[in-house]
Structure 1
Amino acid sequence: MKAFHWILLYCTAPLLSDVQATYHLMAGDPELMAAQSYAQTRNNGRPLLRTLNPAKTDSQCRSRSLDLVFIIDSSRSVRRGEFEKVKIFLANMVDTLEVGSDTTRVAVVNYASTVKTEFLLKDYFSKLDLKKAISRIEPLATGTMTGLAIKTAVNEAFTEQSGARPRSRNISKVAIIVTDGRPQDQVEEVSASARGKGIEIYAVGVDRADMRSLQLMASTPLEDHVFYVETYGVIEKLTSKFRETLCGVDPCSMGHDCKHICVNSNASYYCKCRKGYILNADKKTCSLKQVKVEVVEDPCKCEARLAFQKQTQAAIQQLTAKHIQIERLENTVGRA
């Protein structure tokens, strides 16, 4: 019996250690406690449910700055555990981006029968603050007013008052819609209006999502903007796909043929020259700027000179004629 007690203590020690560590972690951060609430539950012997960890970080991309708005479905068909997976997906997406006031800004619009803007583009500029805000989002339940959610995102989240950068900044505006159902309102017209305002729309369908509705919402080409996963359990796999799509690669860092300066233009680049040089016709090489000297002649100079000469010659001729007359007169008088 004594040996059995030792074996029991030996087997349960790691479990007790994990429980103690989890208690201390959550006790230090009440917001994290809420986000980790599902981590201690087991369902019919299944593994522990993955939950949002705001302190976790991942690699980031640096090639694109975005005004990014997530539009997430939290209707009745989305179970509580599934909604937690959506929040993990959002947090993982935040990890892949370079977040900041001058780089990528993030907002979340939550919807069911009603729509709630959880936070705006101007609210959080750090990954940790963003993920804590995501961990506090609660599902709204009931219906699926996707069209209303898109309209709200356009009118509230993508405005300059809410933190969106002006068009003159050329910051990409991106909306990612996550839904598992069929919209109960019209999405075609409102989505077309959003795209017309320069918003690029990605539509992510889960399980029972209506593919036709996803296609009506998304930007073109559809094969790059419509995604489907069978369950919320695998939605995190889309993170790497979006990382490739939204981050891309800085073309200047991958090598270029610019003689002087390479300028990143999102998916492409263009060449510039240093001061004192001009870009050649090949748009790659530079030549020293030639200083063009223009000689401007006074159009009146020649005419004025000729006029003066004519006037002088006429005066001389008149004086000469008078002088000849005087000499003749003097000769006549002398003879008399």
Structure 2
Amino acid sequence: MPCGLAKTDLVFILDSSTSVTEENFVRMLQFCKDIINSADTDGGSVRVGAMTFGSVTEVQFNLNSFSKKHYLFDAIDEMTRVSGNSNVADAIRAARKRMFTLENGDRPDAENVIMLLTDGLSNINSQLTIPEAKFAHLQGIHIYAIGIGLSDTREIEGIASEPWQENSFSIRNFEELSDLSESLYMSECQGKHNVRLTWVLLNV
């Protein structure tokens, strides 16, 4: 593909709580692969890490674990679920403290980006979710928050970087992830600064 993300350290945070079926978890994994398909990982511009969360958070692989795209795709396919409730606050805190570190591949001259996907509201430490996101923002981490099938989008809007209208996305179901990834790719190809993505208006 003719375009890709600029120098970026990108961490995917995927909801794997009990409400996410195996089929829908696989759809999230495909979304991750679709997003990085056009990224310059082999050339070193983009590094990718991934985490899953339920009641607890698990680091699946770090930013410096894989540099070749085919290894990244294999690692994404092998990601495991953790199940349980939804502890978004712990996931964001873990990304900030464990993923975006020099030891685990974070680069001082690269933009730090989280792409968080969830199908529900926090039900563990929910009062800490938006404050944890704000701590990440203050640390210079840009957060894109994607809510799937949510009737209340205030939490993902609070998690997303400002302006939230450009950084939070609400879709009706997991099937729409494929359409969202295509829309995000088209935004990347319009010459936006780094990985800043234009607001995608879906028919929700």
Fold-level match, TM-score > 0.5?
yes
* Partner Cα distance (1:67, 1:96) in 2: 15
Give the aligned residue type for 2:24. E
Aligned mate of 2:107, from 154, 158, 165: 165
Secondary structure of 2:106's aligned partner: coil
- Which of these residues, 160, 164, 169, is aligned with residue 218 of structure 1? 160
8 Å CA contact 1:200, 1:219 repeated in 2: yes
Quick one: distance in 2 between partners of 1:60 and 1:122?
25
Which of 176, 196, 215 aligns to 2:138? It is 196
Query: How far is 1:249 from its partner?
Result: 2.0
| Structure 2 match to 1:80 | 22
Task: Give the one of 156, 160, 181 matched to 1:239.
Answer: 181
Taking the aligned partners of 1:88 and 1:110, their CA distance within structure 2 comes to: 14
Highest CA radius of gyration, 1 or 2? 1
Cα distance, 1:240 vs structure 2: 2.2
Whether 1:66 and 2:8 are equivalent positions in the alignment is yes
1:125 deviates by 0.7
| 2:74 is aligned with 1:135 | no
Cα deviation, 1:7-41, whole Å, max 9, x if unaligned, reads: xxxxxxxxxxxxxxxxxxxxxxxxxxxxxxxxxxx
Change (3 A) 1:180 1:266: closer
Asked if 2 retains the 8 angstrom alpha-carbon contact of 1:203 and 1:217, the reply is: yes
* SS in structure 1 at match of 2:37: helix
Bigger proportion of residues as helix? 1
- Separation (CA, whole Å) in 1 of partners of 2:23 and 2:2: 27
Match of 2:115 in 1: 176
Given that 1:60 and 1:98 are in contact with CA atoms closer than 8 Å, whether structure 2 keeps it comes out as no
Mapped partners of 2:70, 2:106: distance in 1: 20
CA distance in 1, matches of 2:5, 2:76: 24
Deviations 1:255-274 (A, max 9, x none): xxxxxxxxxx749xxxxxxx
Give the Cα separation in 2 of the matches to 1:94 and 1:148. 25
Contact 1:78-1:180 at 8 Å conserved across structures: yes
**Helix, strand or coil: the match of 1:161?**
coil
Distance 1:118 1:101 in 2: 22
Aligned mate of 1:97, from 23, 31, 39: 39
**Letter aligned with residue 208 of structure 1:** L
Gaps of 5+ in 1: 1-58, 251-264, 268-336
Question: What 5-or-longer segments of structure 2 have no aligned partner?
Answer: 196-204
Corresponding pairs, count: 192
Distance across 1 between alignment mates of 2:151 and 2:103: 33
For residue 87 of structure 1, what is the amino acid of its counterpart?
A: L
Which residue does 1:122 correspond to in 2?
Answer: 64
Greater relative CO, 1 or 2 (CA 8 Å, sep 6+): 2
